[in-house]
Chain A
């Protein structure tokens, strides 16, 4: 898709990196970049990270600063593993927002750790090096909000047209959803 359709507007929520920007713009795409994990830390990091996610004021601030995009603005979104660190109601709100921001027929990539009993999971900055290589820059470990299995992921993305799962060697569930 990236090669066949230049001129796409893509959202990357891993934080801006030289390699991703170069890869996508070299294919003729526009990239909108933000660091969603950093935005979460700014809004919810002072105190209990997950308890703060039920504070309506903090939630409103987060949605306004991190996910305030026009309807059907993007042709694709790379949300990486960020959704793992959002608790129940906020997670659903964020997924609804992502659905709202994406054009029909567009794709979104998300990653979820598949280790059910892990108390903390590693976090990374994901950088696209080339068509076959994603470089992972470590960002420490975090406690995930919840564990996701295939059924919970299907439910989470039920408003999307289709959901595909791929289990990688690194205990990661790669999820590609189509709007």
Chain B
């Protein structure tokens, strides 16, 4: 006899928030600004901006636009420059021609990509060289076990800010 509580049945329809779809018979020319995740499986020409959300270009999608999004997944065709805050996935069979500026990139085998890849690293807080000067030797900072001040950029950065 199982004592594991039964999972709720799949009949419950969760509200589908934040997932707009442009179907494969839809053609859009102009500017798309989206405040929710968007899937494009039709044709788009212009610009697509959705800085906080994910854009998916479906297998039938043909996008000729500059794209700015948090995350981009390409399964179809994209001609244009792409800027993502987080990552871009270029899936098998996808075609992307344009320059990419992103923090992370995934290119599957079989994808075609022509363009420039510019990886934008998240800025690491600068270790403050003057940190020891503002921390009296007689009053050591409380430390987490196993973390030395030198190994903790967050603490070092904090010390730098204090000085300012």
Report the bound CA distance from A124 to B144 in whole Å.
51
Known: A21-B105, A21-B107. A15 touches B115 (CB 8 A): no
Report the bound CA distance from A35 to B115 in whole Å.
10
**Are B112 and A35 in touch, CB under 8 angstroms?**
yes
User: Closest chain B residue to A31 by CB distance?
Assistant: B117
Does A162 sit within 8 A of B, measured CB to CB?
no
Considering the complex, which residues of chain A in the window 21-75 have a beta carbon less than 8 Å from any beta carbon of chain B? 21, 25, 30-35, 38
Q: How many residues does chain A have at the interface if contact means C-beta atoms less than 8 Å apart?
A: 14
**Are A38 and B117 in touch, CB under 8 angstroms?**
no
Chain B facing A: main interface SS: strand
Interface string of A102-115 (1 = CB under 8 A from B): 00000000000000
Report the bound CA distance from A31 to B115 in whole Å.
8
User: Closest chain A residue to B117 by CB distance?
Assistant: A31
Q: How many residues does chain B have at the interface if contact means C-beta atoms less than 8 Å apart?
A: 15
The residues of A that contact B118 with a CB separation of less than 8 Å are 30
**A and B contact pairs by CB, cutoff 8 A, 8 listed:** A15-B112, A16-B107, A16-B117, A18-B105, A31-B116, A33-B115, A34-B115, A35-B114
Contacts beyond the supplied A16-B117, A17-B109: 7 A-B pairs with Cβ under 8 Å: A16-B90, A16-B112, A18-B105, A21-B117, A25-B119, A33-B113, A35-B114
Interface residues of A, Cβ cutoff 8 Å to B: 15-18, 21, 25, 30-35, 38, 137
